[in-house]
Structure 1
Amino acid sequence: MKEQMELSALGAALLEGAERIYGDMQDWRRDFHQFPELAMEENITASKIAGVLKSIPGMEVITGYAMPTSVIGVLGGDIPGPALMLRATMDAVAAEEQTGLPFSSCMPGVMHACGHDAEMAALLGAAAILAEHREEMPQRVVFLFQPAGEGRSGAKTLTENHFVERFEIGRCAAVAWTPELPYSELYTKKGVMTALSDRIHIDVRGTAGHAAEPHMTVDPVTIAANIIITIQAMLSREVDPREAVVVSFGQVESGTAYNVIPEQANLWGTLRAFNPKTRDFVQSRIETVAPAIAKALRGLASVEYTRNYAQIENNLDMLEEILRIGVPFFGEDGINMLERPLLSGEDFSFFTHAVPSVFMLLGTGLEYPLHHPRYDVPESMLPFSAAWEAYMALTLSGN
C-alpha cells in the first residue's frame, strides 16, 4: 500500500511538471505537424528535435547514427548498467490533409496522419521533465527519435547497425497514440501484439494493342484481375481458417488510355499474419500461383516479395512490471489488455526481438482512423503521455 501511494504521488508530480510545459509541447507538436516529412527525409524534423534536446540540462545528443535523420538523446550517461530506451517515430505519410487546422501541413501530399507529431512532442516533454529528476533515475535513459517508421524499416536499419549494443540498451518501451481506443486509457498485450507485415509486388507482362481487338493482344489487366481473385480464393481454401492471414492489394497500375490494352500491369499489396509458418506457405503459393495464371493466359508474371516487419512480442516479465507500476498512474480501469493481437504492422518489432520490450497503445478516442486525411489528435493528452513515459523511466527497475 505504501509503495502504491508513493508511486501515485510520483505520477501526480510528473503530471504537474508536464502541465507546466504544456505550451512548449503544443508548439512542438504543431511545428512538426505543419512541416511533415516522409521516411528518410526528416531533415527539418530532426533539426528541431536536436535543438530541443540540446537545451535540456544533462542531455547528450547524437545525430545521424545509422541514418542521416536519426536523433538520439542520452540522459544519465554516467549511470552504469543497461539503459532503458523510449522511442518515438518521426516520419509522416503520403496523404493530402483535410483537417482545416490553422497549422495544417504545408507539404503537398504529406501529413502527420499517424500521430507521430504528438508522440515526438510528448517524448521531448518526457525528456524535459525527467531531466529535473535525473538524480533519482535508476538507469540511463536513451530517447530514440526514429526515422522511417512507415514502411521503410528504420528500426531494422538501427538494429542491424548495432544500435542496441552501441548504447547498451537493456529494455525498450514505446507508446503509440490510437483513435480506436478510449481517451487516455492504456492498452497492451501479453506476447504477440501485432502481425508480421510484408510487401508484395507482382509485375504482369502482356502484349499491347487496340481495345477493339483484344484477340490480337495479351491483356495484362485481365491477368492481374485473375491473380487477385485467385489469391483470395487460395487463402480461403488452402489456409487453415483458424490461422489469421490477410492479403490486400492497395495499388494497381496499368495503362495510360481508356481504349488501349497496355503491355504491363503492376500490383502492390501487403500480407499480414501472426504465424511465420502461415506467411511462409502463403508467400510460396503466391510465388507459384501468379506466374502460373499469367502463363495460362499467355502472359508473364514475376513476384517480388519483401519481408518488412516481424511481429511485436511483448516481454512477459517487463509487461508484468509495467502493469504493476501502471495501476497507480492510470487507476484500476485505465490500463487494459487487448483481447486479441492487431493485424497492423509495426517496426518496433525489431527491438522486441533484440531485447525485452513492451509496446503500448494510448487511446485518443477520436472519430477519424489512422491515415485518414482528417486525422487529428487531442493535444490535451500531451502532458499525460509525457508524464507516463517519464514515470516509466523512474519506476521501471534498472537491469
Structure 2
Amino acid sequence: MKSSIHDKLMPGEELSQQLYEIRSHLHQNPELSFQEYQTCSYIMSWLEKWGIPHRRFGETGVVVDLIGEEGEGRHIGVRADIDALPIEEKTKLSFASKQPGVMHACGHDGHTTILLGTVYQLFQMKGKWKGRVRCIFQPGEEADGAAQQMIEEGVLDNPRVDGMLALHLWPHLPFGSVGVRNGAITASCDDFRIAIEGKGGHSARPQHAVDAIAISSQILQALSLLVTKGTNPVDPVVVHVGKIQGGTASNIVADRVIMEGTTRTVSRETRNKLRQQFISLVKGIVEAYGATVKITYNEGFPPVINDPMLTDCVKQCAAELLGESAVYVLPEPSMGADDFGAFAEQVPSTYFRLGIQQADQPVYDLHHPQFQFDQDIIPIGVQVCTHTVLTWLEKGEKETC
C-alpha cells in the first residue's frame, strides 16, 4: 500500500526539477508583505505554462480552482503564504536573496513551491477525482489581517469551501517527518500599546509630580502576576512587554511613558478574558497613582484550532506515505502565531508541520538570518498535500479517513 501510493504521488523528475527552479527563484527574489507583485506574476507564469486556469485575487494574491471530472463532491481549500521578512540573509546559499534586507526566513518560498506542485499534480489527475479544490496563494501572512482580508473579499465563497489545509516547514522535527495536533497548534497574537500620562517635575520634589516610570514598573509586575495567578496554569498565556520609552534626564520625573508588547493565548475564551483583565488591571493601577492612560489593544491573528477529522486525515495519509515512525503527534501548541487561524475560524481546518531538521546540519529557527532547508523536502510536501486532499475528497466529512 505504502509503496504504491508513494510511487503514484511522487512528482516525476521533470516536475521536481521545475519545482527546485521555482524555489530557487522565489528565494532569490523575496518580497515583503503586500509587496509581492513579482512573486504573484511569477506564480501565474508557471500556471500559464502548465495550462492551469487561475485568477489574481486582490493586489498580489492568486487563486486556482480545480474541478474534478468525476462529478460533484466536497470542496477543500489549500493555502500557502508567499511573503518574506525584513531580514538580511546570511546563509551563503548560491541562490541567496538578491534583495538587500529582505529574506525568505520563514520557509514561505517552500510553502509556495509545494502548493504549486500540488496544483500541478491535482490538475493532471482531475479525471480521477470528484469535488473541488481551491488553492490559495496568500500574501501578507507576516503582516496583520491578510487572511482575514481575503476572507472578507470572498475567497472562501462561490462556492463555499468546506475545509482548509495548510502546512509549515518546521526545523524542530526530523527531515521528511510530519507533525500533527488536534485542537490548538498555534497561539493568538494581539498587540498592545500603553501610553501613561503623569506629571513632570524635579526629582528632589517628587511629591509635586506623578512619576510615569514608577507607574510603568508597577504595571510590569502586575502583568507578571496576571499570567501566573490570574489565568489557568494549564492554559498557556504569554504577556510580553518588549518596548518601554520614557524619561529625559536622571533628575527629572518622567511625565510620559510608552509601553508596547504582545499577548498570546491558545483558546478563544482565554483570549477574550485576557483582554478584559489586561485593560482593567492597567487602568486600575494608573488611576490609583493619579495618572491617566490610553490603551490600544489590537487583535491580531487568532489561534489555529485544528479540526480532529482533517487532522486525522493528514496523520493517516502521512503514515501511508512516509511510515508510522515519521508521524509525530505534537504534545503542545506553539506560542507562535499564523493568520491561517482566520480560515480555521470559518471552516474546519488543519495546519501541520513538515520537518526539515537534518542530523548533520546546524538547526536555525524560523526568522533567523541563516534559516534554510534542503529542497528535497518539496516533493515530500507535494505528496502529503496531494494525498490528503484526494483522501478527504473521497471520504467526505461524515466518514473518518
| TM-score of the aligned structures, taking structure 2 as reference length | 0.87
1:286 and 2:278 correspond: yes
Paired residues in the alignment total 390
Aligned partner of 2:387 in structure 1 is 391
Unaligned runs of 5+ in 2: 397-401
CA distance in 1, matches of 2:245, 2:102: 21
1:75 and 2:71 correspond: no
User: Which of the numbers 138, 142, 153 marks the counterpart of 1:150?
Assistant: 142
1:381 and 2:377 correspond: yes
User: Which of the numbers 3, 18, 37 marks the counterpart of 1:24?
Assistant: 18
Aligned partner of 1:246 in structure 2 is 238
**Alignment check: 8 A CA contact 1:82 1:168 kept:** no
User: Which of the numbers 9, 12, 22 marks the counterpart of 1:14?
Assistant: 9
Aligned partner of 1:52 in structure 2 is 46
CA distance in 2, matches of 1:9, 1:143: 26
Give the 3-state SS of the residue equivalent to 2:47 in structure 1: helix
Q: Could you list the per-position Cα deviations for residues 166-199 of structure 1 after superposition, in whole angstroms to 9, with x for gaps in the alignment?
A: 2431221111101111111001112232222222
Aligned partner of 2:302 in structure 1 is 310
User: Which of the numbers 56, 61, 81 marks the counterpart of 1:63?
Assistant: 56
User: Which of the numbers 90, 93, 96 marks the counterpart of 1:104?
Assistant: 96
Q: Which segment drifts farther, 255-264 or 377-386?
A: 255-264
Structure 1 residues 165 and 258 mapped into 2: Cα distance closer, same or farther (>3 Å)? Answer: farther
CA distance in 1, matches of 2:249, 2:16: 54
Give the 3-state SS of the residue equivalent to 2:98 in structure 1: coil
Give the 3-state SS of the residue equivalent to 2:325 in structure 1: coil
**Alignment check: 8 A CA contact 1:39 1:152 kept:** no
Aligned partner of 1:234 in structure 2 is 226
CA distance in 1, matches of 2:205, 2:250: 14
Give, as a single letter, the amino acid of the residue that structure 2 aligns with 1:186: V
1:113 and 2:105 correspond: yes
Give, as a single letter, the amino acid of the residue that structure 1 aligns with 2:113: A
After TM superposition, the structure 1 = structure 2 runs for residues 326-365 of structure 1, keeping only pairs within 5 Å, are: 326-365=318-357
Aligned partner of 2:197 in structure 1 is 205
**Alignment check: 8 A CA contact 2:189 2:299 kept:** yes
State the Cα distance separating 1:116 from its structure 2 match: 0.5
CA distance in 2, matches of 1:258, 1:378: 53
Give, as a single letter, the amino acid of the residue that structure 2 aligns with 1:15: M
Q: Which segment drifts farther, 164-173 or 185-194?
A: 164-173
**Alignment check: 8 A CA contact 2:75 2:393 kept:** no
Q: Could you list the per-position Cα deviations for residues 75-120 of structure 1 after superposition, in whole angstroms to 9, with x for gaps in the alignment?
A: 2276533322111011222323222333333334332111001111
CA distance in 1, matches of 2:227, 2:176: 38
Aligned partner of 2:368 in structure 1 is 372
Q: Could you list the per-position Cα deviations for residues 193-214 of structure 1 after superposition, in whole angstroms to 9, with x for gaps in the alignment?
A: 2222222222233456789998
Structure 1 residues 112 and 204 mapped into 2: Cα distance closer, same or farther (>3 Å)? Answer: farther
Aligned partner of 2:35 in structure 1 is 41
Give, as a single letter, the amino acid of the residue that structure 2 aligns with 1:266: I
CA distance in 2, matches of 1:42, 1:254: 37
**Alignment check: 8 A CA contact 1:290 1:302 kept:** no
State the Cα distance separating 1:288 from its structure 2 match: 2.1
**Alignment check: 8 A CA contact 1:226 1:293 kept:** yes
Give, as a single letter, the amino acid of the residue that structure 2 aligns with 1:181: L
Give the 3-state SS of the residue equivalent to 1:396 in structure 2: helix
Give the 3-state SS of the residue equivalent to 2:119 in structure 1: helix
CA distance in 1, matches of 2:363, 2:232: 35
Give the 3-state SS of the residue equivalent to 1:135 in structure 2: helix
Q: Could you list the per-position Cα deviations for residues 206-250 of structure 1 after superposition, in whole angstroms to 9, with x for gaps in the alignment?
A: 456789998886554444343223211222222232332111123
Q: Which segment drifts farther, 161-170 or 252-261?
A: 252-261
State the Cα distance separating 1:372 from its structure 2 match: 1.4
Give the 3-state SS of the residue equivalent to 1:96 in structure 2: coil
Give, as a single letter, the amino acid of the residue that structure 2 aligns with 1:60: P
1:188 and 2:180 correspond: yes
State the Cα distance separating 1:355 from its structure 2 match: 2.0
CA distance in 2, matches of 1:261, 1:111: 43
CA distance in 2, matches of 1:103, 1:254: 44
Structure 1 residues 214 and 50 mapped into 2: Cα distance closer, same or farther (>3 Å)? Answer: farther
